[in-house]
A and B are shown apart, each in its own frame.
Chain A
């Protein structure tokens, strides 16, 4: 008979962002048990991780096991002893002939273990192996570790409790409702589980909680914020929205500041007015069913008012000192112990910006870009660094190109984020990131594994994205003297072209092997190789180039000397040379169809390894010259051919 299974791990509030990963991990661990089942469903709220499966067998199939005993020649007592151990009579034993002789044996029927037993045995291990980025002890040193204390365990297979114990908690048939609106102990069956939870103000399905929140936005133009929505979905068991208001006078503050306060500090959705501008309203999500007295709304409005008052105070205080006048203050702000203060960093960023061809606007922006670090507003809202500097620069009358460059210079913050909007911003962002990268690698602060405290991967990714998408014709070589930084950046370039831009890995390798100091040029060559690939001549020619490369390597050919026309054999060799002379200097796209047959014929008819060393050397020189001519776009020997 097929049985349904329900596991609910009841905990104290799990950090919202860890929940989806934990469910995935629980799912994998359950599959690993190998217990057959038809379906699996995973659900979670902050206080429970739930796995439900259907169609589990009651027990594993019975198996047979052949037990071999004493040899046929053994004394009768030994035979009787063997039979006794199996609980049968000696006459029930069979005799097997084996190459080693005849032996008593018996086929034992092994009853399949019950699924309940297997689950009872494996569930404690499964639960404790669920992956969390950080975990804790709660029963004491050396005890079990989990993300937060486990307070109850519900484990049912069909109608039966799967008996096991973990961290002093015994699995049972009880769940628990919402902390204040439900009962702490509710008896459930697999069939009524979800409904019983609902009766006790717990909506088990994240999808349903998500829809419930969205459904309550009606009539209010809430700014879409999928990440915030996910946070709230996993921060509540019974989400209900309330909308509140704030004094429109606060709208004088920059929208960025207001939105940050609402989003990051209070987890509120912002609301847009008819014009698309920020409205003096917000939407908060409660973890209860209603707010009939308006207590929750008024409470949240007061907190927001206090926060906005703080922000306004900081904004006004900061205005008393111009951004440019704060430059000397940066001497007291450490960038990194071995890399000096932010004043020193600023000087380096300015030098980089100049080298990279920055104009006066870029240089001014480089000078100002870190000056918001000592402002009160950035001390309070660190996530707004850069943005705040840009806003202050704007109010203080800096040209648009300058304030926008300051505002944008931390961009792109992710692969999806846009690069700075103007050229000055791109130059400053690039200068800042290159300074961080070269500096950190110089003093040995190199990312290892998942540890990357200075976010160097993001910086390197930013460098690649800004140069390519900003079409900056600059040479990276001067900044890549450090071999490990060079490799680090090469990795990011490969990742960008392969995973973000969808080029094939061998195309990327081939083009990079022909140089990548200029990323804009690399992008152009990649596009050319990608186009060439559709030509029927491409792969055969690539294969020939690989062959040429191998031949030259084996012959330890150094590339010295010119081709001696007198030593060429008439026919395919002479033809190939003539063809080369005709097409030299032309782009490969134009000549590929003419070149390929000549190369093929050459390899078909001509023996490179000629008897006469002069002829051999001359042939190698011909091949070397040909390879060199067409290797400026890519090293075609890196192309993986299908034939």
Chain B
């Protein structure tokens, strides 16, 4: 039987062999691997890129104090970006499942329409949820727009749900019973954070403090964005990546406030708009900054 970590290592190895840069998880809380700069910003612009990384994805509202066998506050996604997507992208993807020991002549694979949209990121794409014996194991998306910008090259994004895939391979009914490494279960490694973050997110997070933090990060991002000058000769050194970090902070605080029940449905739309404005602002500035950079590189 392959352990959780062996499955991850095999998938990383598989994609490394296909020309992917293997990145480590981004070190700021995100709700999905898509939000990491390695995806959100790299898909913009005309430069090809291939990257794979495991991203712990935090969804405060999905926490269940470690009680629910299928739901987690923090789950692990393997995020693969192939930009532009190769012609045999589906075959390559199916090959990755075979690389972790799934014999696709003995299992049922279906590609069911599932389009993806992230309003806070001004991003959308079309694709499928990939069903393996009735279980959704991967979200497969052809990005069309990011930060409100039409993409020059169409990237394929593959997002593997690693806990689900491992539970499937190890035939476990609860994610907590997955063998992470020899002698250690997923529960041994992760139960405590599921419990404690659920308590914090649902019961103890101080709402006024979270709002204050949200506003601080928002104003820092707004301040920085207002200083970006597309005409400046020195714009290449402008810190857009740190600006984007502020946006990610806002996004996570929004999610925490939401799980705390602090945002009414009416308010929600407005707060989403605020985050979206920042994300789209960064994406547009980034596309502008990269355009110059790649033009300069082409001239050399």
Contacts and interface: CB of A to CB of B under 8 A. Distances in A.
A151 B87 contact: yes
Interface string B120-150: 0000011010001111000000101000001
A157 B122 CA distance: 46
B108 A138 contact: no
Contact of B105 (A134, A151, A288): A288
Given A13-B111, A134-B115, A180 B104 contact: yes
A235 B112 contact: yes
Contacts of A139: 84, 154
Contact of B154 (A140, A184, A268, A286): A140
Interface in B150-181: 150-154, 168, 171, 173
B110 interface: yes
A286 B108 contact: yes
A299 B107 contact: yes
A36 B104 CA distance: 45
A334 B133 CA distance: 38
B109 interface: yes
Contacts of A235: 110, 112
Given A179-B109, A287-B108, A310-B70, A136 B126 contact: yes
A140 B265 contact: no
Contact of A333 (B108, B125, B144, B265): B265
A181 B109 CA distance: 12
B134 A334 contact: no
A266 B134 CA distance: 6
Interface in A336-374: 337, 341
A258 interface: no
Which of B91, B132, B133 has most chain A Cβ within 10 Å?
Answer: B133
A343 to B, nearest CB: 12
Contact of B134 (A16, A149, A179, A284): A284
Contact of B133 (A268, A295, A310): A295
Given A136-B144, A287-B110, A303 B134 contact: yes
B264 interface: yes
B85 interface: yes
Nearest to A152: B87
Interface string B72-107: 000000000000110100110010000000001111
A138 B85 contact: yes
Interface string B2-33: 00000000000000000000000000000000
Nearest to A301: B134
Given A235-B112, A287-B110, A295-B106, A337 B142 contact: no
By size class, the interface of chain B is: 35 or more
Contacts of B125: 136
Given A235-B112, A337-B266, A341-B266, A293 B106 contact: yes
A128 to B, nearest CB: 16
With most chain B CB atoms within 10 A of its CB, the pick from A137, A184, A286 is A137
Nearest to A138: B154
Interface in A214-244: 235-236
Contact of A304 (B68, B134, B265, B269): B134
Interface in A283-323: 284, 286-288, 291-293, 295-296, 298-300, 302-306, 309-310, 313
A111 interface: no
A85 interface: no
B203 interface: no
A288 B108 contact: yes
A325 to B, nearest CB: 17
A268 B106 CA distance: 19
B242 interface: no
A624 interface: no
A332 interface: yes
Contacts of A559: none
Nearest to B128: A13
Interface in A232-290: 235-236, 266, 268, 284, 286-288
A139 B87 CA distance: 9
Contacts of B173: 302, 305-306
A619 to B, nearest CB: 66
A299 B134 contact: yes
A291 B112 CA distance: 21
Contact of A137 (B144, B171, B266): B144
Interface string A366-385: 00000000000000000000
A309 B109 contact: no
A299 B115 contact: no
A141 B110 CA distance: 28
B69 interface: yes
Contacts of B128: 13
A313 B68 contact: yes
B154 A300 contact: no
A341 B268 CA distance: 13
A236 B110 contact: yes
Nearest to B174: A306
A258 to B, nearest CB: 15
A121 interface: no
A492 B134 CA distance: 41
Contacts of B90: 12, 179
Nearest to A137: B154
Given A12-B111, A151-B87, A179-B109, A303 B135 contact: yes
A179 B94 CA distance: 9
Contact of B132 (A12, A266, A299, A306): A299
Contacts of B215: none
A300 B113 contact: no
B113 A15 contact: yes
B94 to A, nearest CB: 7
B109 A300 contact: no
B157 to A, nearest CB: 13
Interface string A166-178: 0000000000000
B152 A287 contact: no
A242 B168 CA distance: 19
Contacts of B108: 286-288, 291, 296, 299
A268 B134 CA distance: 9
A46 interface: yes
Interface in A147-197: 148-149, 151, 179-181, 184
Nearest to A342: B265
Contacts of A300: 133-134
A303 B110 contact: no
A179 B91 CA distance: 8
B45 to A, nearest CB: 11
Contacts of B154: 136-141
Contacts of A151: 87
* Closest 5 pairs (CB-CB, A-B): A299-B133, A15-B113, A13-B111, A286-B108, A300-B134
22 contacts: A13-B113, A13-B128, A17-B113, A134-B115, A136-B142, A136-B144, A139-B84, A140-B152, A149-B85, A179-B94, A179-B104, A179-B109, A180-B105, A184-B91, A286-B108, A288-B105, A295-B106, A296-B107, A299-B107, A299-B168, A302-B171, A310-B68
Interface of B: 68-70, 84-85, 87, 90-91, 94, 104-113, 115, 125-126, 128, 132-135, 142, 144, 150-154, 168, 171, 173, 264-266, 269
Given A298-B133, A306-B70, 6 more contacts: A13-B113, A149-B87, A296-B108, A302-B173, A303-B135, A341-B265
